[in-house]
Amino acid sequence: MAVRPWDADDPSDAAEKGAALPGDATFVRETEPFRRELLAHCYRLLGSVQDAEDLVQETYVRAWRGYPAFEHRSSVRTWLYRIATNACLTALEHHSRRVLPSGLGAAEPDPDTVPQPGEPGTAWLQPLPDGLVAPGPDDPESIVIERESLRLALVASWQYLPGRQRAVLILRDVLAFPAAEVAEMLGTTTEAVKSTLQRARARLRQSDVAAESVAEVAEPAARALLDQYIAAFENADTLLLEKLLCQEATLEATPLRTWFAGRSTCVPFLSRQILGVPGDWRMLPTSANGQPAAVGYRRDGDGVQHRAYGVAVLTVRADGIIGVVSFGDPALVPAFGFPTDLGESTRTT
């Protein structure tokens, strides 16, 4: 969220709204450049774009209030990460880990099974729009790092770590902060940070949910696969889907706990229960978590409007689509900059 001009009588109220106070130009100049990367950091820790945005806002409120006492003994970046990390750890004390369907049980072998919803209160992992966190185009190395460190499977695997282990692992292995700085951020010792990092790494190695390694696919090839996936859905083209999906492809969709593995299961499920007839679906291309994605709309009962369904994120490799995670939550669509419904005349591009 951009810092807005001063628009409140109460300074604390202005800070809550993200507004700048008269004379706060130095604070804005020093802190604002880190907003996008702080959002990515909070998302890695929390697995929710809404929670991450809230915690980044809280970070800036706390930073504004503490800025007069900040003596620059550390860099502004380190100081902001300390505030954000501790705010996220506090939030994690009151929330369960966020999951994907594949983290709740084995794949369903029968494509005719009616998918079952998750248990009430299940906290689902959410996708992160690339547009909210993407570095500038003049920094291609940072773009690659962001993509790799925000992949859905990786973020999902971190959710199985206790909050403090998760924070140390991300601060050290993703952001490359020195152990001494991480210790200062978390109010502990360097030795404790090293020990916590070892436990976190060991826990991930022993876990069955460690993120898979998928080779980076060039942007034109990834976009071509996405365009074909969109065409398959909009045209209810089962044969095209069969060509696009790898043999070992997986398909999962929140808020359902049922998920499928293998092209021979995924394609019949999509054909019989999801695709419908040509025109039932409209999809618009986007990107999330450094991966190709599509915002999906399903035809309403009146046959005129297409209402927002949610967002599908694809994991692709050179020979096709290896995984699809569909987030069936219309509330996610505005975060990607898209409307909540489409008229019949609207066409994808």
Q: pLDDT tens, 168-222?
A: 999 999 999 999 999 999 999 999 999 999 999 999 888 765 455 566 677 889 9
**pTM recorded for the entire structure:** 0.88
Whether omega before 115 lies within 30 degrees of 0, making that bond cis, reads no
1, pLDDT greater than 70: no
Instruction: For domain 11-97+130-206, give the CATH superfamily.
Output: PhyR, sigma-like (SL) domain (1.20.140.160)
105, pLDDT greater than 90: yes
- Domain spans of the chain, in order of start: 11-97+130-206, 219-342
Q: Among the listed ranges 76-80, 98-102, 132-136, 174-178, which one has the minimum average pLDDT value? A: 132-136
H or E stretch at 283: strand 281-288
Q: Looking at per-residue confidence, does 213 or 15 come out higher?
A: 213
For residues 298-332, one letter each, b for 16 or more C-beta atoms within 10 angstroms of the residue's C-beta and e for the rest, the string is bbeeeeeebbbbbbbbbbbbeebbbbbbbbbbbeb
Alpha helices in the chain (DSSP H): 11-16, 25-31, 35-46, 49-66, 76-92, 140-149, 152-158, 163-169, 179-186, 190-206, 219-234, 238-244, 263-269
Query: How many alpha carbons lie under 13 Å from residue 325 in its C-beta half-sphere?
Result: 24
% of residues, the chain, pLDDT over 70: 85
Query: How many alpha carbons lie under 13 Å from residue 343 in its C-beta half-sphere?
Result: 2
- Dist CA 284 CA 336 (whole Å): 10
Q: Report whether 225 contacts 292 (CB < 8 A).
A: yes
Two tokens, residue 334 = 């505005």
Smallest CA-to-CA distance from 186 within 104, 269, 89 is with 89
Q: Tell me what the mean pLDDT of segment 289-309 comes to.
A: 90
Quick one: pLDDT at residue 96? 75
CATH topology for the 219-342 domain: Nuclear Transport Factor 2; Chain: A, (3.10.450)
- Dist CA 164 CA 197 (whole Å): 9
